[in-house]
Structure 1
Amino acid sequence: MADLTVVERSPDPESPGPRTEREPSIADRIRNLGANRTGALLLLFGTVVAVAWANLSFESYHDLWETHFTVGVGDLQLDFTLHALVNDALMAVFFFTVGLEVRREFAIGELTTWSRAVVPVVVAVAGLVVPSVLYVLVSRGSGYEYAWGIVISTDTAFLVGALALIGPRAQAGLRIFLLALAVVDDIGALSIIALVYTESFDPLPLVVAAIGLVGVYFTRYAPSGRGPVYATLAIIVWFAFLASGVHPTLAGVAIALLVPVYRPSRRDVEHALGLARMFRQSPNSEYARAAANGLRESISINERLQSAYAPYVAYVILPVFALANAGVQLNGEILAAALRSPVAWGIVAGLVVGKIVAIFGSATILRVLRVGEFGPGLTADRLAGGGALCGIGFTISLFIVDLAIDDPGVQNEARVGVLAASVLACALATVIFRISDATHPVREVGRTLVRPVDPRRDHVFGPADAPLTLVEYADFQCAFCSKTSGAIEEVQRELGDRVRYVWRHAPLVRYHPNAVAAAEASEAAALQGQFFAYERSLFADQEHQLPSDLVRRASELGLDVERFEADLASPGVAARVRDDMVDAETMNITTAPTFFVNGQRHTGPHDAQSLIRALEQTAPAGTR
């Protein structure tokens, strides 16, 4: 919804000064799937209640979830248990949201280009293979080596919540890396469920499912009423998957991958803005409905569905799933059996040892080989802690326990293994992160530029090999940044070719709702070699930075407007701005402008003479 705020709020160029707080917008979308501490705590609460209930009265716990009910008309009837309803129907909604996120990441997110995707893809694949091999080795001879799928997947909901609760300071880079990894991990887990854990298979119903999926794809072209059509086709596809023998939750994934996703276009946003103005001038029900529809239609169906379903998944579906599946008895006999069980030990080894070895090891190899892009803040200790945290394999692990193991006693042992592994993984990650924070004190966070200046990537004014470097993290809507631009020009006049100036983005979006759009527009202009000209244009008129204003500026500068608009909607431009914002959060930059002189954070005044003195005093030896 970040782009939607562009049409609903106006900039505040008269803000009284640099702000001491910045919106955590680097990932407004950062996986609302179980999204934050609240979702993770509810999931944990459901687990604790399930375990307590099963140990206080296992009969009532078992009897409730095995309650049968029938749905149907005439001779066409389906019989479900309450447990099956949760695992087959409610979890289809969970997997639907997973599929939406997968679709988004590959279309406009972190996985749009190979250079950005290669690291999380390779690391995630290693995180699937190594734990599986460890499980098979440890559980060899048990007769349940086939259950290796239990250790393949990381629980995204717990991962996000645990990272918020126990993660290190300045964790933006690690968070985005782990979430991109989790997307690939989910793809692998879903594929394995479909290919390995489908017991009986009838291809005929899949023909019906295929027809339904074709209908889902073409529904995007319907002029109106798409919601009921999507819902009807989704139900048909779900029943077809159920009848085919393929686990019906995968219907959710198949549908989600066909739902369109795109960045809001300028024309759609302008249209929504026009409708909102009409309603403001003449408030009535007709204009209200038109304005609401215009605002809704300016956002892709994928993102609207994510926003709509994320709260239900986080606060209802996943806690209910935990309540229905985590009820394991923990008496002495069962714990003793689990301690002797190669299945339980295989799960612990796979999740706790396999995940950290696979993720940390493969990431280290890629870094040594200089393969792919590593974001700022992804130090060895952060990668180790993130790898440990990925050993929380709760949701899909418990899900596959029921698919892969048919013996109730062994299922119990496996659930004990999953719970124990998740606790151990979380504890191990906590220890690693605390050690990491202890070795990187708060006062040191952000003192040094985390991403070295790269003339191929950065916006550099001045000679690329100049001995002095001034980096500014700034916001196009910030009045102080505009005033500081004069000081920058004076620094450049006095130091000449001895200094290079670098601009990086740090939009304060809580106070300047159009700042991200302006930053992306400047990147679109940069693709036509006009970044600094566009920068000056933005600072010259900070009050007008709506989408139409951004395009008008491009036209006034003589840019190819059609190409500008296409670039403005591209994932590459958004990723470029987001990278700078991740840098800023990693370095705990909370005000604009923030300067780095010769790689070190500047804490003094921002006038030209102060910046010149700081540059001269910190100049490399032999260049003063």
Structure 2
Amino acid sequence: MAPLPQSPFARFVHSESFAGLLLVCTALVAFIWANSPWREVYFAAQHTHFALSLGSARLDLSLAHWVNDGLMAVFFLLVGLEIKRELLIGELASRRRASLAVAAALGGMAVPAVFYLAVNAGGPGASGWGVPMATDIAFALGVLALLGSRVPLGLKVFLTALAIVDDLGAVLVIAVFYTSGLKLTFLALAALTWGIALYAGWRGAFSLKLYAVLGVLLWFFVLQSGLHATVAGVLLALAVPIRRPNPAGYLASLADAARPGRGEMVGARLRDLEDLLERSQSPLHRLEHALQPVVTFLVLPVFALVNAGVPVAAGGFGTVSLGVLLGLVLGKPLGVVGGAWLAVRAGVASLPRQVGWRHMVGAGLLAGVGFTMSLFVSNLAFGDAALLPQAKLGVLTASVLAAVLGATWLLLVARRGRAAVGAVG
């Protein structure tokens, strides 16, 4: 018997879990390389410059900046598409489910920042308060995937929604608090380009090539404006329409392509059917589907390879590392569970089916896996300063601890649940 097709959410969890495994491997390679006898090669490669020229225009950036400002814009484009989809037709479209995720995410952003500032307020590391605020969805869902059926599906759905709201909060923090020296001319050009993209989406333009061209222009203008270039990815995602093309023409074409034929005609019609079915999807779904493997197999592994190489001897474990560790390992679960509890207590939200407060504690612990977004904000907060290795060391240590604690906690909860069922039986 052929296996049943997976639901879109099941496919998403599977791909994110694999992304988490790939991130672990590349991060480990980077960490070992940065602390090996060949570490000079690693850091020299980070600072090697590559330039692009178009006429008199020239863009000269180091490899690290091309990755963090360029490739990561693609990651943020995917994040923006996921946020828009979830808000319109996904888990965040339901008021009660959205309220739970938003309340938990707000608590999970505010409390870690408070923990961090409790250690670093008034000191040279104070600007890093945004580092422990975000959750790495790939790592978190990867851990849940390893636990399999021991974890209720509702908890996976909640953690996904929480991470997506977290990502939105991180984007806002980057845009508002980690931006300086705005150039109004480029900012106006970026606004104009975004306006054109929004108008195209509103009028139902379904060509992905159009959004690709507008996206490149938007990225360049945002980069030059002083805003962080990755904000362009989220802005473009908001313009990509989620509406499907008018189905009338497609239905007629499908009926024609499905007519019986022989030999090469059958193969040609099958290819026509595949093409028609692909184009019948909304631009948002088509772009999200196209970007998923690019982000999984290229963008995030390269980002991890470039950014996870932390020389342990360079900065050591100082107050910045301690603040990040406390924020992610303690502040995250306290904020997530506290925010969710307040929302449920106020009557504006309810827990997912088969999910109890013990499960929510496990989700809060896993939300402390910050990795990708936390490393990204570390670069913005400290640049090439001496405190950057401290921040990265804190992120890596906290993420490993949060993953281990979260998985162990949920395993104990599952074992206790099976024991209770056995006792009743």
The alignment's TM-score, normalised by the length of structure 2, stands at: 0.91
Where in structure 2 are there 5+ consecutive unaligned residues? none
Count of residues paired in the alignment: 423
Is 1:103 matched up with 2:84?
yes
Alpha-carbon distance in structure 2 between the residues aligned to 1:93 and 1:46 = 19
Q: If you compute each CA radius of gyration, which structure gives the higher value, 1 or 2?
A: 1
Amino acid at match of 2:239: L
The alpha-carbon distance between structure 1 residues 112 and 148, as it changes in their structure 2 partners (threshold 3 A), is same
2:135–2:367 Cα contact (<8 Å) kept: yes
The aligned residue for residue 120 of structure 1 is 101
The alpha-carbon distance between structure 1 residues 231 and 265, as it changes in their structure 2 partners (threshold 3 A), is closer
Equivalent position to 1:154, from 132, 135, 146: 135
Is 1:43 matched up with 2:23?
yes
Is 1:431 matched up with 2:408?
yes
The alpha-carbon distance between structure 1 residues 66 and 112, as it changes in their structure 2 partners (threshold 3 A), is same
Alpha-carbon distance in structure 1 between the residues aligned to 2:374 and 2:182 = 23
Is 1:235 matched up with 2:216?
yes
SS of alignment partner, residue 283 of structure 1: helix
SS of alignment partner, residue 111 of structure 1: helix
SS of alignment partner, residue 328 of structure 1: coil
1:97–1:256 Cα contact (<8 Å) kept: yes
Alpha-carbon distance in structure 1 between the residues aligned to 2:270 and 2:170 = 44
SS of alignment partner, residue 195 of structure 2: helix
Q: Give CA-to-partner distance per residue, 1:156-191, whole Å, 9 cap, x none.
A: 111111211246614210000111111111110000
The alpha-carbon distance between structure 1 residues 391 and 309, as it changes in their structure 2 partners (threshold 3 A), is same
The aligned residue for residue 295 of structure 1 is 277
The aligned residue for residue 181 of structure 2 is 200
Alpha-carbon distance in structure 2 between the residues aligned to 1:273 and 1:373 = 43
Alpha-carbon distance in structure 1 between the residues aligned to 2:272 and 2:202 = 19
Q: CA deviation at 1:368?
A: 3.5
Is 1:349 matched up with 2:331?
no
Q: Give CA-to-partner distance per residue, 1:559-599, whole Å, 9 cap, x none.
A: xxxxxxxxxxxxxxxxxxxxxxxxxxxxxxxxxxxxxxxxx
- Superposed, 1:330-345 pairs within 5 Å as 330-331=312-313, 334=315, 337-338=316-317, 341-345=318-322
The alpha-carbon distance between structure 1 residues 218 and 432, as it changes in their structure 2 partners (threshold 3 A), is same
Deviates most, 89-98 or 426-435: 426-435
Amino acid at match of 2:279: E
2:178–2:381 Cα contact (<8 Å) kept: yes
Q: CA deviation at 1:223?
A: 8.7
Deviates most, 290-299 or 345-354: 290-299
Q: CA deviation at 1:210?
A: 2.0
The aligned residue for residue 3 of structure 1 is none
Is 1:319 matched up with 2:301?
yes
SS of alignment partner, residue 30 of structure 1: helix
Q: CA deviation at 1:61?
A: 0.3
Structure with greater contact order relative to length (CA < 8 Å, sep ≥ 6):
2
Amino acid at match of 1:344: S
Amino acid at match of 1:382: H
Amino acid at match of 1:89: G
Amino acid at match of 1:39: A
Amino acid at match of 1:350: G
Equivalent position to 2:41, from 45, 56, 60: 60
2:365–2:402 Cα contact (<8 Å) kept: yes
Where in structure 1 are there 5+ consecutive unaligned residues? 1-14, 449-599, 601-624
1:272–1:295 Cα contact (<8 Å) kept: no
Q: Give CA-to-partner distance per residue, 1:135-162, whole Å, 9 cap, x none.
A: 1112234222121110110011111112
The alpha-carbon distance between structure 1 residues 81 and 146, as it changes in their structure 2 partners (threshold 3 A), is same
Q: CA deviation at 1:36?
A: 3.2
The alpha-carbon distance between structure 1 residues 275 and 345, as it changes in their structure 2 partners (threshold 3 A), is farther
The aligned residue for residue 361 of structure 1 is 338
Amino acid at match of 2:404: A
Is 1:259 matched up with 2:240?
yes
Is 1:90 matched up with 2:59?
no
Q: Give CA-to-partner distance per residue, 1:57-113, whole Å, 9 cap, x none.
A: 221000111111211134321111111111111000000000000010111111113
1:66–1:83 Cα contact (<8 Å) kept: yes
Equivalent position to 2:120, from 122, 133, 139: 139
The alpha-carbon distance between structure 1 residues 225 and 170, as it changes in their structure 2 partners (threshold 3 A), is closer
- Superposed, 1:540-559 pairs within 5 Å as none
The aligned residue for residue 415 of structure 1 is 392
1:275–1:291 Cα contact (<8 Å) kept: no
Amino acid at match of 2:332: K
The alpha-carbon distance between structure 1 residues 73 and 365, as it changes in their structure 2 partners (threshold 3 A), is closer
Alpha-carbon distance in structure 1 between the residues aligned to 2:260 and 2:374 = 50
Q: CA deviation at 1:429?
A: 0.4
Alpha-carbon distance in structure 2 between the residues aligned to 1:276 and 1:214 = 38
Q: CA deviation at 1:268?
A: 7.1
Alpha-carbon distance in structure 2 between the residues aligned to 1:110 and 1:213 = 27
The aligned residue for residue 250 of structure 1 is 231
Alpha-carbon distance in structure 1 between the residues aligned to 2:336 and 2:250 = 41
Alpha-carbon distance in structure 2 between the residues aligned to 1:317 and 1:84 = 13
The alpha-carbon distance between structure 1 residues 222 and 187, as it changes in their structure 2 partners (threshold 3 A), is closer
Q: CA deviation at 1:227?
A: 2.7
1:154–1:390 Cα contact (<8 Å) kept: yes
The aligned residue for residue 603 of structure 1 is none
- Superposed, 1:163-182 pairs within 5 Å as 163-166=144-147, 169-182=150-163
Is 1:392 matched up with 2:358?
no
SS of alignment partner, residue 257 of structure 1: helix
Q: CA deviation at 1:263?
A: 6.7
The aligned residue for residue 187 of structure 1 is 168
**Which has a greater percent of helix?**
2
SS of alignment partner, residue 69 of structure 1: strand
Identity between Structure 1 and Structure 2 (%): 36
- Superposed, 1:390-539 pairs within 5 Å as 390-406=367-383, 408-441=385-418, 444=421
Deviates most, 419-428 or 360-369: 360-369
The alignment's TM-score, normalised by the length of structure 1, stands at: 0.63
The alpha-carbon distance between structure 1 residues 386 and 271, as it changes in their structure 2 partners (threshold 3 A), is farther
The alpha-carbon distance between structure 1 residues 172 and 244, as it changes in their structure 2 partners (threshold 3 A), is same
The alpha-carbon distance between structure 1 residues 289 and 26, as it changes in their structure 2 partners (threshold 3 A), is closer
Alpha-carbon distance in structure 1 between the residues aligned to 2:94 and 2:324 = 34
